[in-house]
Amino acid sequence: MAAQPRKPTMRDVSRLAGVSTMTVSRVLADPSIVAEDTRARVMQAVEQLGYVPDLVAGSLSSRRTRFVGLILPTLTNSNFGDTAQGLAEALGPAYQLLIGYTLYRASEEERLVRALLARRPEALVIAGSIHTAATRRMLSNAAIPIVEIWERPEPPLDRAVGFSNVEAGRAAARHLIGLGHRRIAAIGSELDDDVADHRGEGRLQGFAAALREAGLSDDLVLRRGHAPVSFEHGAEAMAALLERAPDVEAVFAVSDASAFGAMMECRRRGIDVPGTVAIMGFGDFEVGRQCEPAISTVRVDAKAIGEKTGRLLLETLTGAGTARAPLTEDVGVSVVARGTTARRDEAGPHGAERKGRGS
């Protein structure tokens, strides 16, 4: 790697082109306002030197960093990945995402907020609406747009784009109750002082509330292990659940990953899904769509959350929005009934019951 003695600066370009740095700056920012031959000389110098403008200096000078901070619970959940990609796409190439992850830890969130704010992002997008006091203070004092996502806080710190996790849980319960199940369980993660999946907890609470309102017991709403919830989590939680309630008829998992794990645990034990136990998840993960039987779920458009957030931010940052956007945008959720909650008579033959080569 042939290291240059020093990276070329705008000054180097301007000297080579025989103009001032201001002219170089203009050519790079808006070529149309510079005379054509001047512009050509500058571009030629830029090429020749392989000049890459220094946005650190540009940001300090213009007070525009073109950064948008994004704080997510994890980088390994494709739903949050979709949100990040949706946000990046909506924002376009003029903005750079500054992504951090918390692993559901409030302390880590606080550290991250401080670290990201030091980079002077023009806006900050953060999953969730429950923060430490210090985090809330920093966010409020930042004097930039803050968007809380994946929830529907009342009221939001500033703006919010998400949905009600409580309603999502309720919708799942309604679906299972409507199918005639009575001995209904749910599996999620524990909450402790520092690590907590408040959104999953919201779903669990909505689910439990709907159970009680229907006159059913919520004593099978289990919280096991720590977020993030995994495929393994579902398997273990399902095993624990069967230990405790061998007669369980239906299970709601706070995530499709967990639901899939639960279904695999049933398969290993020879328990028919949905024949003996119905299973429902949340998030509409690809695995749930593709597996056999496919997993019934509460769908949320993760990418749309990112896209709407991006558009909202663009309006706010460019001051383009004439009409003041609402404080909270709700992308809604929808129940998607699939194989794992099919009634016996509805259930098509699933692979487990077919043998031999078809096609």
Partner DNA sequence: CTGAAAGCGCTTACAG
Number of residues counted as binding its own copies (CB under 8 A): 81
Give, as ranges, the residues between 18 and 37 that touch DNA (CB under 7 A): 19-23, 25-26, 28-29, 33-35, 37
Q: Which two tokens stand for residue 118?
A: 């030091």
Q: Which lies closer to DNA via its Cβ, residue 17 or residue 208?
A: 17
> Which span (54-62, 101-109, 127-135, 269-277) binds DNA, by CB under 7 A?
54-62
Q: Give CA 261 to chain center in angstroms.
A: 21
10 is a contact residue toward DNA (CB under 7 A): yes
Q: Taking CB under 8 A as the rule, which mask of x and - marks residues 120-149 in contact with its own copies? A: x----------------xx-xx-x--x---
> What does residue 245 show for φ and ψ, rounded to 5 degrees?
-140, 80
**Rounded to whole angstroms, how far apart are CA atoms 298 and 287?**
14
177 binds, among DNA, its own copies, none (CB under 5 to 8 A by kind): none
Alpha-carbon torsion 258, 306, 331, 204, what sign?
positive
Among 39, 105, 299, 350, binds its own copies (CB under 8 A): 350
> Which span (59-67, 96-104, 144-152, 351-359) binds DNA, by CB under 7 A?
59-67
Task: Judge whether 123 and 68 are in contact, CB under 8 Å.
Answer: yes
Q: Which lies closer to its own copies via its Cβ, residue 41 or residue 350?
A: 350
Rounded to a whole number of angstroms, the minimum distance from the CB of residue 110 to DNA is 20
- C-beta pairs of 323-330 under 8 Å, 24+ apart in sequence: 325/159, 327/155, 327/156, 327/158, 327/159, 327/160, 328/152, 328/153, 328/154, 328/155, 328/156, 328/159, 328/160, 328/161, 328/162, 329/159, 329/160, 329/161, 329/162, 330/152, 330/162, 330/163, 330/164
> 């969730």: which residue's tokens?
128
19 binds, among DNA, its own copies, none (CB under 5 to 8 A by kind): DNA
Give, as ranges, the residues between 84 and 113 that touch its own copies (CB under 8 A): 84-85, 88, 93, 96-101, 111
357 binds, among its own copies, DNA, none (CB under 5 to 8 A by kind): its own copies
Rounded to a whole number of angstroms, the minimum distance from the CB of residue 38 to its own copies is 23
72, with CB counted inside 10 A (0-12, 13-18, 19+), is: buried
> 């408040």: which residue's tokens?
198
116 is a contact residue toward its own copies (CB under 8 A): yes
Q: Which lies closer to DNA via its Cβ, residue 8 or residue 81?
A: 8
Task: Judge whether 201 and 188 are in contact, CB under 8 Å.
Answer: yes
> In 3D, which of 253, 245, 161, 162 has the Cα closest to residue 203?
253
28 binds, among DNA, its own copies, none (CB under 5 to 8 A by kind): DNA
Biggest CA pair distance of the chain: 84
Give, as ranges, the residues between 304 and 343 that touch its own copies (CB under 8 A): none
> 């495929």: which residue's tokens?
231
Q: Which lies closer to DNA via its Cβ, residue 39 or residue 350?
A: 39
146 binds, among DNA, its own copies, none (CB under 5 to 8 A by kind): its own copies
Give the DSSP letter of residue 238: H
- Which residues of the shown chain bind DNA in the complex (CB under 7 A)? 7, 9-11, 19-23, 25-26, 28-29, 33-35, 37-39, 53-54, 57-58, 60-64
